[in-house]
Structure 1
Amino acid sequence: MPRTTRRATLPALALLCLAPGLAQAQAPAQEQAIIVLDASGSMWGQINGKPKLEIARETLATVLKDTPDTMALGLIAYGHREKGNCDDIELVVPVRTGSAGDIADAAAKMKFLGMTPLSESVARAANELRFTEQKATVILITDGLETCKADPCALGKELEESGVDFTAHVVGFGLSAEEGKQVACLAENTGGRYIAANDADGLAAALTQTVVSAPAAPPAPEATLDAPDSAPMSSRILVSWTGPGHQYDEVQVFAPEERGGRGKVIDNQRVLSDKRAGQKQVELVAPAKPGDYLLRYYHGAQSKVIATRPISITEAEVGLQAPAEVSIASRFDVTWTGPGEQYDEVQVWDPRARAGSGKAVDNQRVQSDKGYDQRRVSLTAPAVPGDYELRYYNGHNSAVLATVPLKVLDAEVALQAPEQVDMASSFTVTWTGPGAQYDEVQVWDPRARAGSGKAVDNQRVQSDKGYDQRQVTMTAPASPGDYELRYWNGDNSKVLATVPLRVVAIDVALDAPASVPMASDFLVTWTGPGARYDEVQVWDPRARAGSGKAVDNQRVQSDKGYDQRQVTMTAPGKPGDYTLRYWNGDNASLLHEQPLKVTAVEVALDAPASAPAGQYVTITWTGPGARYDEVQVWDPAARAGRGKSLVGKRVQSDKAYDQRQVTLKLPDAPGDYELRYWNGDNSLLLHSQPFRVE
């Protein structure tokens, strides 16, 4: 629903009645206003050695003596009878003409004792003036802030929105600048003025200045509204309008009986924001409660309602058809009759939730469900048996339009699996249960997260290829111990069944040389789970600032030696102390490690110091001789000094491998180059020497 942004304007102030010598000339006939006077204990505070209550009494007596006979004026006081009572609010002088003397006399006799319920006092004054039906003005004189848990800023917005032509003015009597800001919003939100008065002269000067400078309120423009005399509850209402069409003008649905008679705007639409603005029409949503309402044209430039039209909201057919009973966590269809608006939804309601205040445990927007044309939605039953409700909820009005009872019955949910499995192994679980979209079987570790538990493996029942057989394949944890298998209902975030699962230890070992030459290939025999993501790693514990890194790894199932439980690994290109590790990928867990020493080997190239350009040269090499090792002719000046291999030959590819020789064709361009021995497995330069192409 579009929200209205108010723009405060300055109508003629009701404080005209308070200015000596000017009230007679400027106050309109039969104008109505109420003075709300702070009579709390804080009024005993002094300004220039004189109690504020004395200043207030004398000021009222002075300014009220010139009030015209046509002015209907009343007085409400608060805090004048009891200490500590937020309900101490009284209409001391009813609104009537010729009441000025009575107001002055009442103020002179008044005690100043209690709290500061200024918000409720202003609200009562507005109701006393029937502000939803006619122009009304309230003048609040206060020396303190709200002390009765109310929000004067919010009250100002509410009164402005609900009133026909409501204005509140606030006189801050002896308030600091910061305190003034906290109460000024009551006036500003109604198009009124906040006046700071720090002494008797300042009060008089402020009132006089405000009266002299206040422009007369311009006449309100005319407007009309054309709409049906009645409409079904929560239905769309098309309203045609004529009027000023100002940027902040809007057509409202107004409930005059709401908020204790202060009324409430139920729906509103800016006249220029509606897609029908060119046709001078707006679309509104009828209230969800049948009764008599008003359509209003609100003129934002003057904060006034300038046209009204009555409309009767009638009952409409709203209903729900669904099974009387459903199984826990099951899907079921509900056929609905109702407005079918954008934010309407069918809900499964648990009346016992939230200490009896209730909660929607599932909901589906009627327009979002693919069954909208059939007036049908699909819902999920709660996972706990019991008595629930189905509700048709009208989102625009935040109202429940229809309810029917729903009984949720218990159903069989079970898991069948081995009582114990090997650690990190795969195993099959057969399940019985709802089988819903987000249901899953979990391996649960009750000791994780300081005893709050954690799912260490999970598989959605609909995602597993064994769905038709009601089976899922799970992976056991890598740590032996007692676990649980759980059937988890995702729609309700509820565990429906559990069975214990014991994970037992198995041997995990690696059989490999204690030391290997650098950059060489070597064979490792492994014992372990042999799972899909398990791998043997060569681990460098010094890498990454001591956090370590796998410098070679081989998945056990990917190696051609899987049946022999063997993998072929490549040693690092740098000598040093490393670690061989058996890594379980499913659980991201290290199952075994042992030391591995990588020893240095001689790496050298035997070649002439120079040779003619474009000729072939034979180079004898000493080194690891691994699969991706190669001898290269390297141009250090290429790539802006980054260098580039111009010619390279893999040592295992050359037919002279047994003689440890390769034959290379030299570049055609003469210059200074390098001969390099490159270890491909580790992407590491093991040796280089200068070479001149003549």
Structure 2
Amino acid sequence: SEFEVDWEGPDNPRDYITIVPADAPEDAYESYQRTSRGTPLSLTAPDALGSYEVRYVVQQSKRVLASQPVTLTPVSAHVKAPEEIPAGSEFEVDWEGPDNPRDYITIVPADAPEDAYESYQRTSRGSPLSLTAPDALGSYEVRYVVQQSRRVLASQPVTLTPVTASLMISEPIVPGGEFEVKWQGPDNPRDYITIVPAGAPEDAYESYQRTNRGSPLTLAAPEAPGDYEVRYVIQQSRRVLASEPVSVGAGEVSLNVEGSAEAGGVVNVAWQGPGRYEDFIQIVAADAPDDAEAIREARASQGSPLQMFAPASAGEYELRYRASDSGEILGRQQFQVK
């Protein structure tokens, strides 16, 4: 622990106050402070028991100018954590103990050496503390460790238990578009949902969102069509906890004019496709380039069939299904306005 020392003396340059074993030679020192820091001074007692001395030492000659015998007494600590902890999750630890400078609470495998540590927090942060469990299974220990000596002052056995996750993806997924993912899982710190090519390594990621944003999440689809996987990934270990195969492509898109279309009248359009709010059903001239401005358009979210005003002039026209986020034309159908 830390303790205070009041002192009087010459305060020569670099003189110091120290604590050492009672029979230590005059030039011995452990924790010390220069007298230039004033009185009282704070020293840190060794993590030991028995007879010690606090000494005023003249730096120039290493002569002990004054000393006082002290006795170092035992200290104790206590830690309380859940007996079962989901792998990779955050959990709270209540603790009591000396709270020496830089003492810490940690979680380690049950048979780990005393100086081992994984996730930890300094006791100076108070009680309770939050630790992150390893993404592992089996027997572990939560420990109070004295920083100075790495001595384990208290420990509690805990068991790390399995966790699961699930994913539900809205399809079809349009290249370059966005899609929604509903998920369930542990929501550990910085866990994420991502989409990657099918068979990609566990630590691969492309478009992703942290799970702390809630469910559902919106991901950006790859530009290239093909087979992919949506994954729930544990940030700590990069382990894939759940995955779902998906196909990136337009899916089946069709357009059809129901009945005849009269100039300046109403066109009834039956269609099939993704039906996202951002998508549009458009009417353009039959020979219009792909980037042509629509003569008429309506949001696909209005459903099928939908009604649109026909062009004012008779002629050949084209219906187009456009994904507005990528600009891609997913389907087209020519028709005649009389």
Which TM-score applies when normalising by structure 1?
0.34
Whole-Å Cα distance in 2 between the matches of residues 358 and 534 of structure 1? 55
Alignment deviations for residues 373-400 of structure 1 (CA, whole Å, 9 cap, x no partner):
xx22011222232222222233344444
AA aligned to 2:19 is V
Whole-Å Cα distance in 2 between the matches of residues 581 and 359 of structure 1? 60
**1:456 corresponds to:** 118
**2:211 corresponds to:** 556
Indicate which of 43, 46, 58 corresponds to 1:379: 43
1:573–1:679: 8 Å Cα contact kept in structure 2? Answer: no
1:540–1:550: 8 Å Cα contact kept in structure 2? Answer: no
Residue 194 of structure 2 is aligned to residue 537 of structure 1? yes
The structure-2 alpha-carbon separation of the partners of 1:600 and 1:380, relative to structure 1 and needing over 3 Å to count, comes to: same
Alignment deviations for residues 238-260 of structure 1 (CA, whole Å, 9 cap, x no partner):
xxxxxxxxxxxxxxxxxxxxxxx
Whole-Å Cα distance in 1 between the matches of residues 186 and 229 of structure 2? 20
The structure-2 alpha-carbon separation of the partners of 1:461 and 1:392, relative to structure 1 and needing over 3 Å to count, comes to: same
Whole-Å Cα distance in 1 between the matches of residues 109 and 28 of structure 2? 31
Deviation at 1:522, TM superposition (A): 2.9
**1:482 corresponds to:** 139
Deviation at 1:537, TM superposition (A): 1.9
Q: Which has the higher contact order (CA 8 A, sep 6+)?
A: 2
SS at structure 1 position matched to 2:118: strand
AA aligned to 1:340 is D
Indicate which of 220, 228, 239 corresponds to 1:578: 228
Work out the percentage of aligned pairs sharing the same amino acid.
Answer: 26
Moved more, 380-389 or 497-506: 380-389
Alignment deviations for residues 625-654 of structure 1 (CA, whole Å, 9 cap, x no partner):
988999xxxxxxxxxxxxxxxxxx9x9xx9
AA aligned to 2:3 is F
AA aligned to 1:363 is Y
Deviation at 1:433, TM superposition (A): 0.6
Write 1 or 2 for the structure with the bigger share of helix.
1
Residue 80 of structure 2 is aligned to residue 425 of structure 1? no
In the comparison of the two structures, how many residue pairs are matched?
276
Indicate which of 1, 15, 33 corresponds to 1:344: 15
**1:633 corresponds to:** none
Whole-Å Cα distance in 2 between the matches of residues 357 and 538 of structure 1? 68
The structure-2 alpha-carbon separation of the partners of 1:494 and 1:400, relative to structure 1 and needing over 3 Å to count, comes to: farther
AA aligned to 1:460 is R
1:521–1:626: 8 Å Cα contact kept in structure 2? Answer: no
User: Max radius of gyration: which structure?
Assistant: 1
SS at structure 1 position matched to 2:6: strand
**2:177 corresponds to:** 520
Residue 263 of structure 2 is aligned to residue 594 of structure 1? no
SS at structure 2 position matched to 1:364: strand
Superposition pairs for residues 592-631 of structure 1, below 5 Å? 592-594=241-243, 596-601=245-250
AA aligned to 1:551 is E
Superposition pairs for residues 215-230 of structure 1, below 5 Å? none
2:164–2:242: 8 Å Cα contact kept in structure 1? Answer: no
1:538–1:550: 8 Å Cα contact kept in structure 2? Answer: yes
Indicate which of 437, 440, 443 corresponds to 2:107: 443
Deviation at 1:407, TM superposition (A): 0.9
Deviation at 1:447, TM superposition (A): 6.4
1:445–1:453: 8 Å Cα contact kept in structure 2? Answer: no
Alignment deviations for residues 549-580 of structure 1 (CA, whole Å, 9 cap, x no partner):
42222222323x3xxxx333332222234332
Whole-Å Cα distance in 1 between the matches of residues 10 and 276 of structure 2? 77
Whole-Å Cα distance in 2 between the matches of residues 392 and 678 of structure 1? 82
Deviation at 1:418, TM superposition (A): 2.1
Deviation at 1:444, TM superposition (A): 1.8
The structure-2 alpha-carbon separation of the partners of 1:583 and 1:338, relative to structure 1 and needing over 3 Å to count, comes to: farther
**1:302 corresponds to:** none
Deviation at 1:408, TM superposition (A): 0.7
AA aligned to 2:221 is A
The structure-2 alpha-carbon separation of the partners of 1:529 and 1:342, relative to structure 1 and needing over 3 Å to count, comes to: farther
1:581–1:592: 8 Å Cα contact kept in structure 2? Answer: yes
Whole-Å Cα distance in 1 between the matches of residues 179 and 140 of structure 2? 39
The structure-2 alpha-carbon separation of the partners of 1:503 and 1:350, relative to structure 1 and needing over 3 Å to count, comes to: farther
1:571–1:598: 8 Å Cα contact kept in structure 2? Answer: no
The structure-2 alpha-carbon separation of the partners of 1:600 and 1:624, relative to structure 1 and needing over 3 Å to count, comes to: same
- How large is the RMSD of aligned CA atoms in angstroms? 4.2
SS at structure 2 position matched to 1:479: coil
Q: 5+ unaligned residues in a row in structure 1: which ranges?
A: 1-329, 603-622, 631-648, 661-676, 688-694
1:446–1:454: 8 Å Cα contact kept in structure 2? Answer: no
Deviation at 1:461, TM superposition (A): 2.5
Deviation at 1:426, TM superposition (A): 2.8
Deviation at 1:658, TM superposition (A): 3.6
**1:406 corresponds to:** 70
**1:306 corresponds to:** none
AA aligned to 1:334 is V
Write 1 or 2 for the structure with the bigger share of strand.
2
SS at structure 2 position matched to 1:338: coil
SS at structure 2 position matched to 1:336: coil
Whole-Å Cα distance in 2 between the matches of residues 590 and 551 of structure 1? 15
The structure-2 alpha-carbon separation of the partners of 1:489 and 1:658, relative to structure 1 and needing over 3 Å to count, comes to: same
Whole-Å Cα distance in 1 between the matches of residues 13 and 174 of structure 2? 73
Indicate which of 371, 388, 395 corresponds to 2:59: 395
Whole-Å Cα distance in 2 between the matches of residues 447 and 490 of structure 1? 19
The structure-2 alpha-carbon separation of the partners of 1:406 and 1:519, relative to structure 1 and needing over 3 Å to count, comes to: same
Superposition pairs for residues 32-181 of structure 1, below 5 Å? none
Superposition pairs for residues 238-257 of structure 1, below 5 Å? none
